[in-house]
Chains A and B, each alone.
Chain A
Amino acid sequence: AQSVTQLGSHVSVSEGALVLLRCNYSSSVPPYLFWYVQYPNQGLQLLLKYTSAATLVKGINGFEAEFKKSETSFHLTKPSAHMSDAAEYFCAVSDRSGGYQKVTFGTGTKLQVIP
């Protein structure tokens, strides 16, 4: 069984400030971990993914995340928030024990960027 917990359904930051979105996971097998972004009325777009290579993963739009096995965390960060970063972010976990990606998503964090 696998699950994801995202702390904070809403996060507000000032433009130019650090963005930190928290994600903790639970998985019975070594996980694959993902962060997706969803803009209003659009589908999910992959920001970055961890697939057991480097623990610090860099993604698009300046975002990065660090896999910490000891903390079962995969927090998403960006040094300086942009107005265009305002969106909903989903952390997700999957395993390939069945030979395919069965992805479990968190409940999402809405990021507000204040000018």
Chain B
Amino acid sequence: GAGVSQTPSNKVTEKGKYVELRCDPISGHTALYWYRQSLGQGPEFLIYFQGTGAADDSGLPNDRFFAVRPEGSVSTLKIQRTERGDSAVYLCASARQGDNEQFFGPGTRLTVL
């Protein structure tokens, strides 16, 4: 079956602009996670959704970052007033409820000029 998909695969934007990154989880997976992977680093947790609600957003770096999952499936990560330091690969993962295995998408590479 289809895996986790993320769009766009690459996004180049200018400092100060607004961007949206989309994640389509595996059908039926109620848990959804966003991670950020900076160059030379491992992925860092940003936010976790169980269904429609953000159960843990402790990893969001500041209030410029926001994520939604209005219908409990597709999620959008939103970044306002982008900064060069936001440049990274943003990974999405989904999981079945109660399962300990997360399935990762290919990521969106964000470059802020």
Q: Is the CB of A46 within 8 A of B91?
A: no
Interface residues on B, range: 20 to 34
B residues within 8 A CB of A42? 106
Q: Is the CB of B42 within 8 A of A106?
A: yes
Q: Identify which of A13-21, A67-75, A76-84, A90-98 touches chain B.
A: A90-98
Chain B interface mostly helix, strand, loop or mixed? strand
Q: Is the CB of A46 within 8 A of B101?
A: yes
Q: In the complex the two chains form, what is the Cα distance from A101 to B43 in whole Å?
A: 14
Nearest B residue to A108 via CB reads B42
B41-73 interface mask toward A, CB cutoff 8 Å, 1 = contact, 0 = none? 111110010100001100000000000000000
CB distance from A25 to the nearest CB of B (A): 13
Neighbour of A51 across the interface among B45, B48, B100, CB < 8 A: B100
Q: In the complex the two chains form, what is the Cα distance from A51 to B101 in whole Å?
A: 10
Q: Is A103 an interface residue (CB 8 A)?
A: yes
With contact pairs A51-B100, A103-B102 given, residues A108 and B91 touching in the complex (Cβ less than 8 Å): no
A residues within 8 A CB of B106? 41-43
With contact pairs A32-B100, A100-B48, A100-B50 given, residues A44 and B56 touching in the complex (Cβ less than 8 Å): no
Nearest A residue to B6 via CB reads A43
Q: In the complex the two chains form, what is the Cα distance from A101 to B44 in whole Å?
A: 13
Nearest A residue to B9 via CB reads A41
Within 8 A of B (CB), among A1-47: 4, 9, 32, 36, 41-46
B63-93 interface mask toward A, CB cutoff 8 Å, 1 = contact, 0 = none? 0000000000000000000000000000101
List A residues at the B interface (Cβ < 8 Å). 4, 9, 32, 36, 41-46, 49, 51, 90, 92, 94, 96, 98, 100-108
List B residues at the A interface (Cβ < 8 Å). 4, 31, 33, 35, 40-45, 48, 50, 55-56, 91, 93, 95, 100-107
A-B pairs with the 6 shortest C-beta distances?
A: A105-B42, A43-B104, A44-B104, A43-B106, A105-B43, A107-B42
Supply 7 A–B pairs (Cβ within 8 Å), ascending by A: A42-B106, A46-B103, A94-B100, A98-B56, A101-B102, A103-B33, A103-B43
